[in-house]
Each structure stands twice: as C-alpha cells, then as structure tokens.
C-alpha cells in the first residue's frame, strides 16, 4: 500500500490561486477574430439559428452547446465530509466536479451554487434553467432534501437529472459487487446484504442492487440507531421505511452474523474485526466511508483472509470512485439527447465497468499505476485512468437508453460512435499520471540543487510528502528554514534533509574526484575548492556522481546553458554525442516531443539522427509509439536549399543504423502534424501525425517551444536531458514549483536514461 499523500493548507490554497483564481475558464470554440466572425457569432447572423430553434426546439442540440453541457448544482448543505458550509463555500468542490467532467469524458460543465435550503425554491430555480443544459448533476445536498429535490426535478424536467452522491456511488458499488460475487461464486438473489448508513448514497446503493435482483428480505439496512425493522418509529422517514424488513435483529453486530456482503457509507470504525469474523464464507466488504473506512483492508484481512475488500480510498486496492461513473453516464446520455438517466442505464454502466475489469489490462494502465493489474480479489473495479473507459462505458449507457425509449436521437453507427469517443480521450493526463506512479514506485533520493529558491523548496516538500522518496536540498539550513516559513511550510523544516559543503563528510572525496577531472583544464586546488564548496550546482552533481542521491534537478535559478556548463565539470555532457535535450509540449490533448532544445547548437545529419533516437526513446518511456518527423521549411526536396540538406539526409542515417521506429522527412510542420495535409504525400512512411519533431538547430527548437508556450498556452515539460549515465534534469528559470516537481519525477523515473 502506498503512503498516503500529505497536502498542506498552503499547497491547497496555492493550487486554487495560481496561475489564475479557480479551476475552470471558458474559451470560444469558433473564430472570433474579424468583423465577419462577430457578425456571424452575434448580430445579425445569430438570428438565423434562433429562428430555427424557435421553430424546432430539437435543433438547440445542433446549433448550441446544450448537447454537451452539464450543470453541477449544489446548495452546499453536505459538502464532502465537511457538512453544511453553505452555497458559496461549496464552489471549489463544484468547480472541481466540472473539471472532472471535462477531463474524463470531454463534457463541458459549469458550476451553479444556489443560496437556499428551501426545497421548493431550489427546484424552481433549477427547473427554470432547463433550456440551458443537456443534463443536471446535483451535488452535496443533504438528505432527506436531496431525495425530494431529485424526485421533483425528474418529474418536471425533460433532461437527465442525476444526484451523483446517491447514484454515482451506487453504480460503482454495483460494478464491484458483480465481480466480487463472480469471484466468490455467489448470486445476487441469494446473498444476505447488510447496509450501514441510510443516507443518500446508502439508500441509492440498496435500491440499485434490488433492481438488479437482490431480494428485499435479504437486505438489512442499518443507521445510527441500529437495524431498520418494520414497526420502528425512532429516526424514520419514508425513504428508510421503504427498506424496513420483518426481523428480530436490532444491531449492526447482530445483522453481520452470517452475512455475505457488507456495504458501508457510514463512519470510521463502525465495523469491528469480530463482526467480520462472523460473516459468511468469502465475505464481501465495501467499507466506503471517507476519508477513513468503516474497517481497513488490513484489519479485515487479519481475521478473514478470504475477504474481498473495497474502500473509497485511492491508496487501497478496489477504490469505489465515482469518477468511474458520472462522466461516462452523462457522456452516453448526452450523445443520445436523453430525457433521463434511468435504472437500466445505471445498470448498463455497472455491468460494463464490471466486464472491463475482467479484461486484460493494457500496458499504459499498468504503467500509470506502477504495477500489473489482473482481475482478482484486489482488482474488481477498473482504475480511473484506464483509457478504455471513454469508449466502453458510454456506448453501453447509450444502448440502454435507446432500448428503454429515453433517447431523442438514437445512435445508428455504434462502432463509429465508440471510435469517435476514443478520439476524444486526452492522453496527456494519463501520461503524467504514469510518470507519477513510476516515480512513487522508484522511491529515488532526489537532490534539489537550489535550496535558496522558494519554488524549489515547495517542489522538494511536495516530492517527499507525496511519497515519491526522500528530498535532499542543497542549501544553508537557516536560509532554507526562513524560506520555508515564508512559504507557509514551517512544519516541513524537520522533514527535509538539508545538505551543504559544511555539513557533509564527503567534501574531500568530492574535491579529489573533481581535481582528477579538471587538473588538465587549467584548474588548481583552490579553484576546485571554490567549485565544490561554493557552487550548489557542482556540489549537487558531485553528490549524484558518488551515489549520495539517485537523481538531480537543477536550473531554476540559472540559465539552462549555464547550468549545463557547471554540470559538465562533473559529467561529460557537451562532449557526449549521445546527450540530447528533448522537450515535451502538451496542448489540447496532444503530446509532441521537440529536440534538441538543450545540447546541440547546430547538429549535422548524424547528430540529427541521434536526436531522433533520443526522442523515440523518450516517447517510449512515456508510453507512446514514436513517429519521428525531421521538420524544415521544405518538404521532400522542395524548395531546394543548402540549409535543408541535412534534414533530407538524416532519415538515411537512421536507415543505416536500423532504427526500429517510424521516421520521415524532411517536411514542413503542417505535413508532420496535419493528416489532411500529409495525405498529399501518400508515399510518406509515417502512419499518423508525428509525435517527435527534430528541428534544424537549437535556436529553432527554443523558438518553437517558447512560441507554443506563450501564444498557444501549451504545457511544457523539459528539456528532458537524455543520454548521460546519471538521471539529471534541468528546469528552466521560468519554472513553477509544479514544473520543478515534474522534472524531479522524470529524473526519478529515469525517463532520459
């Protein structure tokens, strides 16, 4: 089990503050540059779709964003585990939910916080907003009001209304239970189920399971006052009464005896080891209380090795995570212009999730989680970063909606629909997730060379607190303490290991090593002493060279070329033909690697081939199959130019070397990246858009990267230094603390190795 992530208040606030307040923004999806564009977007052009929609309301799905827009709506009466914080304080959570819709299913979403606890007022407000949206996701509304609100809105509105706290948990719980019962050889109609927690999520779970075949008399529901039995009057309401059964059982402990399944949406510690011991053979325990489960997997397995255990936590196997459900339920519902999300669609979602978990897990998922996942007791629910979710779950939901008559616009070509969904998947987040998981598995002792910079210190703290390994900070102890305190991280002073020339016992060893390297390059002993004891970049490199750390990140306070020169005192970089800097550009769901952005000033065709090999190596390290393009201002020999000659010759060098990846050139950037333009050159060896671009010189690489970063808003990771025998990464002077952390993770994963 991975160590739980520690996040400080300061880190959380900084995340929501920078680079701009909040987590979402709105961008125009059409051209808005000229007067003609504005005339089409607004007056007079906008009148045409307005009149069309007035005549045929269904056309709103064609001419507006309605068909891909969900409102996340709350009144803040049950915010996460924090209780009634009110509408305004719930906004960060609702923004977060909107981000998840976009990230996992490419559903546009906007958060709306309603400042009322009155059910009728809430319902009236949401009902009036119906024309704006294709669906309504209710969130963090306390029970029993949430039941009344959802019921009334479903009755009044002709678009899907879905309370995720109820049904999202129920769907994922049902998916896990399908597989748990499959493993234990039991049938849902035969098992005895105990539910503890009769709130919104609990009641939704038991209702969905009953609709899937669980028998009413076999389901025992408990709340804080014990078993809900027929005739009980204390603490009851109409929703609890619907699940009361005839029984003499009165306590959770009594109910657990001989039970096959426990579902917990209650509180930490509600289940004891003794209760687990009393359960039937091969018990299924879904302890879903957050942040701490009713019983931990360790505690359950200590008394019942045959138990199948799931929790709501990401640091245990079998996480019941709502993000597996709601984005894909809405994706399928929106794409058929559904009037509602019914039980059949929820069951279809659960069954599709269960079936997906039984399939072989692709390598990119294993890479993202740092381990191979195989269907069994510790893997009964798919993981949130499984790229198949987007093209497996929505088609199942859409098909169920079509079969049950809630679809306004049925999907005719279901295989084509699945393909279109796969194309919407954003690979960038899963790649970053993969780097993170591999770094956590590596547990590298990471050297942060610039302990005098607050960004580096925040990155070092995040590296250690997120469980990636030990952070070693090069700097003066007093200075590090002062800067950490100023950054709101005073409690981290005792956690980080601060290293410098004054407190290491290895300084003389470092100096002897450096003198041996530089004595014939004009350096005397005094020069060596100054370099080793006063320059943090050199000192950090010496630490790494002597295996006193397992990775190094630097460059946040020095220009990359200067940092490279200092590192070259310790590692042969500039004279190493294999050393190459590759920068990753992440933009609108695409990843392109650019080289060389760091080492080779004016490469010849041999160097260019080496850069291509480095780019391909990095691509594979990130889980991508490389397609390399040698880019220039000319395409396959036209226009003729002496400056393009080496780009024309470089593919031939790769051919002589027997390169085992796709490559082609020379070509312009649009030929490399745009399939429609590339189609004019059917002889090209590239089977798709290039993901590794090799450019003529370092200056053109630098210009391209910075232009994409500043004009297009691309996320930049790198340059990733590859080809040297130690994991060293050089950040840029404009790096944020997150950028520095990403470079540390690359070093930990040895992506450039």
Catalytic positions: 97
What is the crossing angle of helices 389-403 and 326-335, to 10°?
Answer: 50
- Taking alpha carbons only, the member of 448, 462, 624 closest to residue 553 is 448
C-alpha–C-alpha distance, residues 680 and 483, integer Å: 57
Distance CA 251, CA 690 (A): 63
Q: What b-and-e string marks burial along 649-672, b requiring 16 or more CB atoms within 10 Å of the CB?
A: bbbebbeeeebebbbbbbbbbebb
Contact in structure between 517 and 569 (CB atoms under 8 Å): yes
Check the annotation: does 82 bind a ligand.
yes
State the residue for tokens 């239970």.
Answer: 177
> Is residue 342 marked as binding?
no
- Buried b / exposed e across 15-33, counting CB within 10 Å, b at 16+? eeeeeeeebeeeeeeeeee
| Residue 59 among known ligand-binding residues | no
Establish whether 567 is an annotated binding residue: no
In angstroms, rounded to a whole number, what is the distance separating the alpha carbons of residues 517 and 537? 16
**Pair 275, 283: CB distance under 8 Å:** no
Residue 336 CB-density burial (10 A; 0-12 exposed, 13-18 middle, 19+ buried):
buried
- 137 in a known ligand binding site: no
72 is in an annotated binding site: no
- Element of type H or E holding 745: helix 737-749
> How far does CA 204 lie from the centroid of its chain?
27
Q: In what order do the strands lie in the sheet with 692-694?
A: 662-667, 627-631, 692-694, 590-595, 580-587, 715-722
Which residues on adjacent β-strands are paired with residue 338? 407
Q: How many CB atoms lie under 10 A from the CB of residue 71? A: 22
Neighbours of 50 (CB within 10 A): 12
Cβ contacts of 699 within 8 Å, gap of 6 or more: 601
> What contacts 24+ positions apart, CB below 8 Å, involve 518-526?
518/569
Q: Name, in order, each residue with C-beta under 8 angstroms of 14's C-beta and a sequence gap of 6 or more.
A: 458
For 352, 500, 517, 519, 555, the CA distances from 527, given in Å and listed in that order, are: 67, 18, 13, 10, 22
Q: How many Å apart are CA 594 and CA 82, to the nearest integer? A: 45
Structure tokens at 455: 């960004």
> DSSP 3-state assignment of 256?
helix
Q: Please say whether the beta carbons of 277 and 253 come within 8 A.
A: no
85 is in an annotated binding site: yes
The reply, when asked if residue 86 is annotated as ligand binding, is yes
Bridge partners of residue 407, in order along the sequence? 338
CB distance 67 to 61 below 8 Å: yes
Q: Are 653 and 659 in contact (CB under 8 A)?
A: no
Are the C-beta atoms of residues 106 and 127 closer than 8 Å to each other? no
- Give the pair of three-digit tokens for residue 130: 């119906």
Report whether 84 belongs to an annotated binding site.
Answer: yes
CB 70 within 8 A of CB 108: yes
Residue 5: both structure tokens together = 């992530």
DSSP secondary structure code for residue 503 in this structure? T
CA distances from 376 to 118, 144, 261, 673, 716 (A): 46, 37, 17, 42, 39
List binding-site positions: 79-86, 139-140, 165, 290
Residues of the binding site for NADP(+): 79-86
Give the residue numbers of the binding site for a divalent metal cation: 139-140, 165, 290
């Amino acid at each position: 089990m991975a160590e739980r992530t520690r996040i400080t208040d300061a880190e959380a606030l900084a995340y929501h503050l920078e680079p701009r307040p909040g987590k979402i923004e709105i961008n125009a999806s059409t051209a808005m540059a000229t007067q003609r564009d504005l005339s089409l977007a607004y007056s007079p052009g906008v009148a045409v779709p307005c009149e069309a929609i007035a005549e045929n309301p269904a056309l709103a799905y064609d001419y507006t964003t309605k068909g891909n827009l969900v409102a996340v709506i709350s009144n803040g009466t049950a915010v996460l585990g924090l209780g009634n914080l009110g509408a305004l304080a719930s906004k960060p959570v609702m923004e977060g939910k909107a981000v998840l819709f976009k990230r996992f299913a490419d559903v546009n979403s906007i958060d709306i916080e309603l400042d009322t606890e009155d059910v009728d007022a809430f319902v009236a407000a949401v009902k009036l907003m119906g024309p704006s949206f294709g669906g309504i996701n209710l969130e963090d509304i306390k029970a029993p009001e949430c039941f009344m609100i959802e019921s009334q809105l479903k009755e009044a509105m002709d678009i899907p209304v879905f309370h995720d706290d109820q049904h999202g948990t129920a769907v994922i719980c049902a998916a896990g239970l399908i597989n748990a019962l499959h493993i234990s050889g039991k049938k849902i109609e035969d098992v005895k189920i105990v539910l503890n927690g009769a709130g919104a999520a609990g009641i939704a779970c038991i209702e969905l399971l009953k609709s899937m075949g669980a028998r009413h008399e076999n389901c025992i529901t408990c709340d804080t006052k014990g078993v809900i039995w027929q005739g009980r009057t204390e603490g009851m309401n109409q929703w609890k009464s619907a699940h009361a059964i005839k029984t003499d059982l009165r306590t959770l402990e009594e109910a657990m005896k001989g039970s096959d399944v426990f579902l917990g949406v209650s509180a930490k510690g509600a289940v004891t080891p003794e209760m687990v011991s009393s359960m039937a053979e091969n018990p299924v325990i879904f302890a879903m209380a957050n942040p701490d489960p009713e019983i931990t997997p360790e505690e359950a397995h200590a008394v019942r090795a045959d138990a199948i255990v799931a929790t709501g936590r990401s640091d245990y196997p079998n996480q019941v995570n709502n993000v597996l459900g709601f984005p894909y339920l809405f994706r399928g519902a929106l794409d058929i212009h559904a009037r509602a999300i019914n039980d059949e669609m929820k069951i279809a979602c659960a069954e599709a999730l269960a079936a997906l978990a039984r399939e072989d897990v692709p390598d990119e998922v294993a890479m993202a989680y740092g381990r191979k996942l195989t269907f069994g007791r510790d893997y009964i629910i798919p993981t949130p970063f499984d790229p198949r979710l987007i093209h497996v779950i929505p088609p199942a939901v859409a098909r169920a909606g079509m079969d049950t008559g809630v679809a306004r616009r049925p999907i005719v070509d279901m295989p084509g629909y699945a393909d279109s969904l796969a194309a919407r998947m954003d690979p960038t987040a899963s790649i970053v997730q993969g780097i993170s998981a591999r770094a956590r598995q590596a547990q590298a002792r990471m050297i942060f060379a610039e302990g005098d910079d607050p960004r580096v210190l925040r990155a070092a703290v995040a590296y250690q607190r997120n469980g990636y390994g030990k952070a070693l900070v090069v700097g003066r102890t007093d200075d590090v303490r002062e800067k950490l305190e100023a950054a709101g991280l005073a409690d981290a002073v005792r956690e980080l290991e601060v290293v410098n020339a004054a407190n290491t016992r290895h300084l003389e060893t470092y100096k002897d090593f450096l003198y041996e390297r530089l004595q014939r390059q004009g350096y005397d002993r005094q020069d060596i002493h100054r370099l080793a004891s006063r320059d943090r970049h050199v000192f950090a490199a010496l630490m790494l060279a002597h295996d006193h750390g397992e990775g190094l990140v630097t460059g946040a306070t020095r220009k990359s070329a200067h940092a490279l020169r200092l590192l070259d005192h310790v590692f042969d970089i500039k004279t190493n033909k294999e050393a190459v800097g590759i920068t990753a550009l992440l933009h609108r769901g695409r990843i392109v690697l650019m080289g060389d952005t760091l080492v080779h000033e004016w490469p010849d065709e041999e160097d260019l081939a080496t850069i291509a090999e480095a780019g391909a190596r990095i691509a594979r390290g990130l889980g991508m199959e490389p397609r390399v393009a040698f880019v220039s201002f000319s395409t396959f020999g036209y226009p003729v130019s002496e400056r393009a000659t080496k780009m024309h010759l470089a593919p031939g060098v790769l051919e002589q070397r027997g390169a085992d990846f796709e490559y082609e050139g020379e070509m312009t950037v649009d030929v490399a990246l745009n399939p429609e333009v590339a189609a004019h050159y059917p002889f090209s060896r590239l089977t798709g858009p290039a993901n590794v671009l090799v450019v003529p010189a370092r200056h053109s690489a630098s210009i391209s990267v910075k232009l994409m970063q500043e004009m297009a808003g691309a996320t930049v990771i790198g340059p990733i230094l590859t080809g040297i025998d130690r994991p060293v990464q050089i950040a840029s002077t404009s790096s944020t603390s997150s950028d520095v952390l990403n470079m540390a993770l690359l070093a930990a994963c040895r992506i450039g190795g």
